[in-house]
Structure 1
Amino acid sequence: MGPFEMVVAIIAIVTIGKIIQTKQKAKLGIIEDEDMMGNKTQRMIGNSDTSAMQEEIRALKERIQVLERIATDNNSATDLNRQIEELRNR
């Protein structure tokens, strides 16, 4: 085995290790945050985080549905303005 094959083997082993590590963190609900300086911190996703994210996703999906309906329906300008204002008030 030559030096090129050794380098490729090492890179493959490190890559596979990182993939396995990332999958395990995802399975356990661990989030890794990185700040502007490159400092990494890890935290667990709690039930409150999960429910807050699910609620935000639900609200965003509703807004997207309304925007899609507004874009595809043939409405008057005043009706469009009313619907947009309703979205802003949510």
Structure 2
Amino acid sequence: MNPFEMVVAIIVVVTLGRVLMARYGVVHTKHGEDVRFRDDPAAQAENDRLRDELRAMKERLAVLERLATDNNDSGARLDREIEKLRDRP
């Protein structure tokens, strides 16, 4: 491989690396010592929405686990708990 081909190959590899870094949101600090992901408001909003949904699902699961393991055979209490679950978004 002649030296010019090697220089072109190095440039291609570095360019490809930079394009992939930009595509996946990886950035460096001013001096290049720290790698972190770029803050994206849309992604942050989606993460917040998913966290809220997960929290609601955990609450519902806790109620269902309590209903499944509860020794009280009260039908009225069970109906109230089911209605509470239906009222939640």
Structure 2 length-normalised TM: 0.51
Which protein is bigger by CA-based radius of gyration? Answer: 2
The within-5 A match list for 1:60-71 is 60-71=57-68
Alpha-carbon RMSD across the aligned residues, in angstroms, is 2.8
**Unpaired runs of 5+ in structure 2?**
1-19, 27-36
Structure 1 segment 8-23 matched on structure 2, within 5 A: none
Per-residue CA distance 1:46-85 (angstroms, 9 max, x = gap): 1110000000000000000000001101221110011100
- Greater strand fraction, Structure 1 or Structure 2: 1
TM-score w.r.t. the length of structure 1 is 0.50
How many percent identity over aligned positions?
Answer: 45
How many matched pairs? 54
Aligned to 2:78: 80
Q: Runs (4+) of structure 1 moved beyond 6 Å?
A: none
Q: Render the CA deviation track for 1:19-69: whole Å, top value 9, x for unaligned.
A: xx9xxx5x859xxxxxxxxxxxxxxx6111000000000000000000000
